[in-house]
Structure 1
Amino acid sequence: MGRAAKSIETATGHPWLEWTEWLEGQGASALAHAELARLVLDRIRQLGIERHASTGEPLNDGWWAQTIAIDYEHDHGMREVGQGHLGTFAASASKTIQGTLDEALRDWLDVMAGVTEIDGVPLSEQPTTSATEKWRYWRVSLADGTRAQVDISAKQVAEGAPAKAVVSVQHSKLESADDIPPKKAAWKALLSQLNLR
């Protein structure tokens, strides 16, 4: 069973075995990633899954379709853990902190002020930021052709409780699985500085 199987079951309300058996019946193991993700997205919509089965919040069906496709690929040897659909790898890390989206972004910018390299690889450009109603983003390219993106989202809290945000980093376009641990460690070290200022 893939790493995300339990969260998939919790989100969709359907057992992972049910997803796997249905996908195998559709010949999913012979599909490219994009086709597989589209197939899953169609199935989510056919089943009428519009809300997270556990929280009741609106379901981001495109994101969950990708998650189901990737976990299926892991289970069937179509993809190594951490490997993207183009054959490259990605390292990820996250931390939940106190604050609103804008406060979390400001805190992250404070942490990154003066940082010129990640795990010994120089940044190749000035980082950029952007925002939507529900997200804040920070992105940068590195000299080795890899990219890093930070996604900041609000964490659901009890009514009247202080705001919290989830700061998630993904470092993509890594060449091998061996690159994941050092990159993950480097980003975790930076994330650990959040809310300490």
Structure 2
Amino acid sequence: MVRAQRDGAGPEALRAATGRTHEEWRALLTDAGALDWDHGRIAAHLVEEHGVDGWWAQGITVDFEQACQGRLPGQRADGTFAVSRTRTLPGERLDALATLVAAVAGEVGEPARSNLQARTPVVRWRLPDDSRLAATALAPTRSGTPVNLTWEKIPDAAAMAAATARLEAMLGRALAS
């Protein structure tokens, strides 16, 4: 299940980083008229008017949208949904990513594009239903390389559970290989 934004960073962490809690940011944004603003305008307001770091501004914006504008957990600003899962695979970064890519390609076909030289190497697929998959390899740890699969452009909340199950299956195949 996808968690609500408020269940991520706790109030102490948010206050330490931004000077306010979730409730205080919601009240401030409501008073500023943000109930009628889109995602980009809210985030820009937080950065430009309140000096909030961009990463925290995104989280505050999503929390506000979920609490005050009806945005559902897992829902993106464009109205579609996304799910993501991460597992640690053995091996170096590009080897772990190649293992994951092979597992995904076995189910959905060859990727549309990749950028293996990026700071976070990524491989992407466009699926026939217009949804998208992205596989990334994070910085290696002592136990291996965390790899992430994200399924984006899921049309509705009801389809998220099936997408999550498919991500888990693809990651399971990668772990087994």
Residues 75-105 of structure 1: per-residue CA shift (max 9 Å, x gap):
1143122222122222222223344322321
- How far apart are 1:179 and its partner, in Å? 0.7
> Are the structure 2 counterparts of residues 181 and 109 from structure 1 closer, same or farther at C-alpha, using a change threshold of 3 Å?
same
Is residue 103 of structure 1 aligned with residue 100 of structure 2? no
Q: Which residue of 1 aligns with 2:158?
A: 178
Query: CA separation in 2, counterparts of 1:20 and 1:164?
Result: 40
Q: Which runs of 5+ in 1 are unaligned?
A: 48-60, 117-122
Q: Which runs of 5+ in 2 are unaligned?
A: none
| 8 A Cα contact 1:134 1:154, kept in partner | no
Q: Which residue of 2 aligns with 1:56?
A: none
SS in 2 for 1:111: helix
> Are the structure 2 counterparts of residues 113 and 90 from structure 1 closer, same or farther at C-alpha, using a change threshold of 3 Å?
closer
One-letter amino acid matched to 1:82: G
Mean Cα deviation higher: 73-82 or 2-11: 2-11
> Are the structure 2 counterparts of residues 98 and 22 from structure 1 closer, same or farther at C-alpha, using a change threshold of 3 Å?
farther
Is residue 144 of structure 1 aligned with residue 145 of structure 2? no
Equivalenced residues, count:
170
Mean Cα deviation higher: 137-146 or 7-16: 7-16
Residue in structure 2 matching 1:189, options 152, 169, 174: 169
- How far apart are 1:189 and its partner, in Å? 1.1
TM-score (norm 2): 0.79
SS in 2 for 1:19: helix
| 8 A Cα contact 2:97 2:135, kept in partner | no
Is residue 67 of structure 1 aligned with residue 67 of structure 2? no
Identity of aligned residues (%): 25
Tell me which protein shows more helix as a share of its residues.
Answer: 2
Residue in structure 2 matching 1:34, options 40, 51, 60: 40
**RMSD between aligned residues:** 2.7
> Are the structure 2 counterparts of residues 64 and 134 from structure 1 closer, same or farther at C-alpha, using a change threshold of 3 Å?
farther
Q: Which residue of 1 aligns with 2:148?
A: 168
Residue in structure 2 matching 1:90, options 70, 82, 93: 82
